[in-house]
Amino acid sequence: ETGVTQTPRHLVMGMTNKKSLKCEQHLGHNAMYWYKQSAKKPLELMFVYNFKEQTENNSVPSRFSPECPNSSHLFLHLHTLQPEDSALYLCASSQMTGNQPQHFGDGTRLSIL
């Protein structure tokens, strides 16, 4: 139990579907992150939110749309995804951005048909 909960754990969707990934942290942290983890590749940072404000968008395609309604919840809205978007999507949180340890959720395994 890391204090960061992601749902769903697995998701299979077609390229024309719209779905959302959810992340909730119970650690009282102020920063939240979305990462993509593909086989044989490093963890790739997608988005950073600090006190609900987006502070970083790492050149992510617009078919991924993040939402952070409060410091405890983070969503990733998915629309018209491509097969290469199949990956493990990890959410993390930390007390602040910068040199603070990040606590990760178990991820959502996404498969695009």
Partner 1 sequence: GQNIDQPTEMTATEGAIVQINCTYQTSGFNGLFWYQQHAGEAPTFLSYNVLDGLEEKGRFSSFLSRSKGYSYLLLKELQMKDSASYLCAVNQAGTALIFGKGTTLSVSS
Residues lying near partner 1 in the complex (CB under 8 A): 2, 4, 33, 40-45, 48, 56, 90, 97-99, 101-107
Q: Smaller CB distance to partner 1: residue 17 or 37?
A: 37
Cα separation, 91 vs 32, whole angstroms? 7
Least spacing, CB of residue 18 vs partner 1, in Å? 26
Nearer to partner 1, 41 or 84 (CB): 41
Q: CB–CB of 58/46 below 8 Å?
A: yes
Smallest separation, CB 80 to partner 1 (Å): 26
Residue pair 18/11 in contact by the 8 Å Cβ criterion: no
Q: How far is the CB of 95 from partner 1 (least distance, A)?
A: 12
Residues 6+ positions from 44 with CB-CB distance below 8 Å? 35, 36, 37, 38, 58
Q: Omega of the bond prior to 8 within 30 degrees of 0, cis?
A: yes
Shortest Cβ distance from residue 15 to partner 1 (Å)? 26
Closer CB to partner 1, 8 or 14, in the complex: 8
